[in-house]
Amino acid sequence: MPVPLIQTGHCNVDLKPSPIERSWILEGNPEARSHPLSTSACGTAITLIWSCTEGKFNWYYDFDETIIILEGSVVLESEGMPPKRYGVGDVIFFREGAHAKWHVEGYVKKVAFLRQSTPFWLGFVIRAVNKLKRPRGPRWARQLVGGAGQ
């Protein structure tokens, strides 16, 4: 069955239990829940809604992950980065291999965009192929550098 070219979802969905690795929990009994919203055709990118109750825990990133906080707040801490509180509307990017200590003070809900990173050389090949397919680049890139009409 072909993958639909446009998928829709909503942030107010029923979330299913998505337990945090027990050995990562530092304090409390945080309960995480999630729901996938979309997956790329190649399976290397996923969008999901994730929430968590109060607690402190480590998180180790094996994907590139960009998050947008929808509700609540979290204090994040990482090597070379002092603790900082992030709340509604904040966008945070974690590279594959990153480690962060999360302190959820009450509740947090986020939308997460997870992407499997590719080796630099493969990314170079993909960009080259895309450039050959679309010599002018993607429309969003043209809009960023010179306006929609170019």
Distance of alpha carbon 55 from alpha carbon 53, whole angstroms: 7
Select the more confidently predicted residue: 11 or 146. Answer: 11
For residues 99-119, give the mean pLDDT. 92
149 has pLDDT over 50 = no
- φ, ψ for residue 82 (rounded to 5)? -65, 160
The pLDDT of residue 35 is 95
Q: Are 110 and 93 in contact (CB under 8 A)?
A: no
141 has pLDDT over 70 = no
pLDDT in tens, 72-88: 999 999 998 899 999 99
**109-129: b or e for each residue (b if 16 or more CB lie within 10 Å)?**
bbbbbbeeeeeeeeeeeeeee
6 has pLDDT over 70 = yes
> What stretches of the chain show up as alpha helix (H) in DSSP?
120-133, 139-146
Full-prediction pTM beyond 0.75?
yes
48 has pLDDT over 90 = yes
pLDDT in tens, 112-127: 999 987 766 666 676 7
The pLDDT of residue 37 is 92
Q: Provide the mean pLDDT of the chain.
A: 87
Domains and CATH numbers, the chain: 16-115 (2.60.120.10), 119-150 (no CATH)
The pLDDT of residue 55 is 98
31 has pLDDT over 60 = yes
Length of the chain as a residue count: 150
Select the more confidently predicted residue: 101 or 41. Answer: 101
Q: How far is CA 55 from CA 20, 31, 85, in A?
A: 11, 8, 14
